[in-house]
A and B are shown apart, each in its own frame.
Chain A
Amino acid sequence: MVRERTRVLNLVQAINEALDLALARDERVLVFGEDVGRLGGVFRVTEGLQAKHGESRVFDTPLAESGILGLAIGLAMGGMRPVAEIQFAGFLYPALDQILSHLGRWRHRSRGRVGLPVVVRAPYGGGVHTPEQHADSPEAFLCHTPGVKVVIPASPERAKGLLLSAIEDEDPVFFLEAIKLYRGARAEVPEGYYTLPLGKARVVREGKAATLIGYGGMVEVMLEAAEVAQREGVEVTVVDLETLVPLDEDTLLEAVRATGRAIVVYEAMRTGGFGAEIAARIAEGAIDHLQAPVLRVAGYDAPYPPFSAIEHLYRPNARRVLAALRKVLTY
């Protein structure tokens, strides 16, 4: 991996660059979805790609999510490597049948003869005052689908390498992009083609007091909480899961065992959210090391509120993470 030169990019630019490189490198790669061509996507993630790679490789589809997923499945069966965009993750619902009944099952159904190297990208998550259903975090549904992988990057530099890995992967990968980070997150991003392994969690900060675990848009929230805690002399570990399926349980459990206290942070509804899975894994694999119950900081058991004036109360913030931290430290 040659990674000498870097530039500061935001998440939109980093993902755009990854798509550009993938299109250039492998002519089986196709990019399509609603408004991705001419407009360059509603968030401009695919900006310029159609002009550069042509209308047969980067194209607009009719407005039909089930159609987009079905098309991707067929293209993959036929040997292509489709990268489909769903305009907002909250609009995956019309496509759930394609995902649950087909995309995730095909390898198993064909006894391993047909794999579907499909990547589905979708923006998710709140914090930017979007209308109803534009802030949903549907990762738990996807993780509960056998046969698909789920990746949620937390920074531009990680996103670029992870997306290129996802496109190279022989199995279907959902690649969820936190809307809050699109222009909010900026980082040094290496030039050129590089991949980062799927299925690996990373420890982004280390401390002895407790372990904070999250992904995507919640990583910056955890880091903010960690900064505040540090000022009070409390050092915490922050784990960015990055890939939810397959989960890097080793890194997770090791980080929890080292501190004995764990808090999971996610912006979906609390009940049945992916944080519950993490808490269960910790109970299964590290119960002897726990000095306090595993806590969850999550959304409430309600739809993500479209009501601008109170939406910030739904999405976890550093203050709530700190409150949970106080709880586990004083248990």
Chain B
Amino acid sequence: MKLKPVAYLERGEFPLEEGEALRLYRAMRRARFFDEKAVTLQRQGRLGVYPPFMGQEAAQVGVALALGEGDFVVPSYRESALLLAKGLPIHVLLLYWRAHPAGWGFPQGFRGVNPYIPIATQIPQAVGLALAGRYRGEDWVVAVSIGDGGTSEGDFHEGLNFAAVFSAPVVFLVQNNGYAISVPRSRQMRVDYIARRAEGYGMPGVVVDGNDAFAVYLEAKKAVERARRGEGPTLLEALTYRLAPHTTSDDPSRYRTREEEEAWRKKDPILRLRKALEERGLWDEERERGLLEELEEEFQRELALADQAPEPRPEEIVEHVYKEMGPDQRRAHEALRRGLHVEEAW
């Protein structure tokens, strides 16, 4: 199987309608804005550990915008941009990364799942979610994402096989950013492209330049349409790079060079798209400034909302473990509510 990354921007092509292109840009810029703010908030102690996605906006936003409203996203933990572009309110996302109970379990009606920490477990789950839609006579598609490292986990392989066997309407997005924390892709696998694995399961595999928003968006659209037509899953590999540390507690200088980072900075997906828009007269400095002001205003509004969330109640620890509390949770709940511990309340 010959595989080659799909790309447009580098060759100066502009395969999208202007409105669509602008929509992509705004969503990517908004995501970057969030990411920068989140890192700052973390440094100020107003957010917990946070995994930045800077550099991966095109991959995430491209897929999110290729989905229809009724479609689902099942992200991994680095996919705040996917969630934002799918419509998760900023204050909910902030509360999520604040590890505040009010940010967990996303709002009713939001077609997306909380990211969770154990790697790759979301993959077979997304396949199940996709099949549920079919059982219920709905035509929703599920986009599920994972990093290059995560594709080494058994769940990734079982999930892909299930999806192919059941012809599930799933788009698998692999954000190949070259590293799993410190471990480079070459140590993770010995294939050139992860998308190559698709053939072994019986589904199409596509490699896109993950810093090319047009490429991701158009290929994701094809995959979504294919899934919706009942033709089954697609594995979409986006070649990209995280320009930031793994999390706010990581030190990437231990495993990669400044030169490498600089080289990728030149391929920044936002700068690339902006350049393309400017060349067509669709964007300029003034519009950029206007957008940034808008984003700042929105962010401050949302931050204020997040700040207004009430302090978590101690007894929330044992709430929602079961639909109805058993005697052990009830006893603990009562004690915590009274400001005591189980030992004190007995």
Chain A residues within CB distance 8 Å of chain B: 34-35, 37-40, 42, 60-67, 90-91, 93-94, 129-134, 270-271, 295, 297, 300-303, 305-310, 313-314, 319-321, 323-324, 327
Known: A62-B183, A67-B152. Is A310-B343 also a contact (CB below 8 A)? Answer: no
The residue that A63 contacts in the complex, of B99, B149, B346, with Cβ under 8 A, is: B149
The residue that B182 contacts in the complex, of A39, A306, A308, A327, with Cβ under 8 A, is: A39
Decide: A62 and B188 in contact? CB cutoff 8 A.
yes
Known: A132-B117, A307-B99. Is A301-B182 also a contact (CB below 8 A)? Answer: no
Per-residue CB contact flags for chain B residues 139-162 toward chain A (1 = under 8 Å, else 0) read: 000000000011011110000000
How close is B80's CB to chain A, nearest CB, in angstroms? Answer: 14
Decide: B183 and A133 in contact? CB cutoff 8 A.
no
Decide: A320 and B344 in contact? CB cutoff 8 A.
yes
Decide: A130 and B341 in contact? CB cutoff 8 A.
no
Please indicate which of the listed interface residues B336, B340, B344 has the most CB atoms of chain A within 10 Å of its own CB.
Answer: B344
- In angstroms, Cα B314 to Cα A320, docked, is 15
Decide: B182 and A35 in contact? CB cutoff 8 A.
yes
Decide: B181 and A42 in contact? CB cutoff 8 A.
yes
Q: Does B321 contact A (CB under 8 A)?
A: yes
How close is A180's CB to chain B, nearest CB, in angstroms? Answer: 16
Per-residue CB contact flags for chain B residues 90-115 toward chain A (1 = under 8 Å, else 0) read: 00000000111100100000000000
Interface stretch, picked from B59-67, B200-208, B324-332, is B324-332
- In angstroms, Cα B224 to Cα A145, docked, is 45
Decide: A307 and B183 in contact? CB cutoff 8 A.
no
Decide: A301 and B48 in contact? CB cutoff 8 A.
no
Residues on B with beta carbons closer than 8 Å to the beta carbon of A303: 321
Known: A60-B183, A62-B187, A307-B99. Is A133-B149 also a contact (CB below 8 A)? Answer: no
Nearest chain A residue, comparing its CB with the CB of B339: A313
Q: Does B180 contact A (CB under 8 A)?
A: yes
A-B contact pairs, 18 of them (CB 8 A): A35-B181, A39-B181, A42-B181, A60-B183, A61-B183, A62-B183, A65-B153, A66-B153, A132-B116, A133-B117, A300-B332, A302-B317, A305-B317, A306-B99, A307-B99, A313-B341, A314-B317, A319-B341
Decide: A130 and B49 in contact? CB cutoff 8 A.
yes
Chain B residues within CB distance 8 Å of chain A: 48-49, 77, 98-101, 104, 116-121, 149-150, 152-155, 180-183, 187-189, 250, 254-255, 311-314, 316-318, 321, 326, 328-329, 332, 336, 340-344, 346
- In angstroms, Cα B156 to Cα A66, docked, is 13
- In angstroms, Cα B254 to Cα A140, docked, is 36
- In angstroms, Cα B322 to Cα A301, docked, is 10
Main SS of chain B's interface residues?
A: loop
Residues on A with beta carbons closer than 8 Å to the beta carbon of B180: 34-35, 62-63
Decide: A323 and B154 in contact? CB cutoff 8 A.
no
The residue that B154 contacts in the complex, of A35, A64, A301, A320, with Cβ under 8 A, is: A64
Residues on B with beta carbons closer than 8 Å to the beta carbon of A306: 99
Residues on B with beta carbons closer than 8 Å to the beta carbon of A61: 183
Residues on A with beta carbons closer than 8 Å to the beta carbon of B117: 90, 131-134
Decide: B182 and A60 in contact? CB cutoff 8 A.
yes
Decide: B100 and A309 in contact? CB cutoff 8 A.
yes
- In angstroms, Cα B336 to Cα A132, docked, is 21
Known: A40-B254, A93-B118, A308-B98. Is A301-B343 also a contact (CB below 8 A)? Answer: no
How close is A90's CB to chain B, nearest CB, in angstroms? Answer: 8
How close is B7's CB to chain A, nearest CB, in angstroms? Answer: 28
Decide: B317 and A310 in contact? CB cutoff 8 A.
yes
Identify 15 new A-B residue pairs, CB closer than 8 A, beyond the known A35-B181, A62-B183, A307-B317: A34-B180, A39-B182, A39-B255, A60-B187, A63-B153, A64-B152, A91-B119, A132-B116, A133-B117, A297-B343, A300-B328, A300-B342, A301-B328, A301-B332, A310-B314
- In angstroms, Cα B234 to Cα A154, docked, is 49
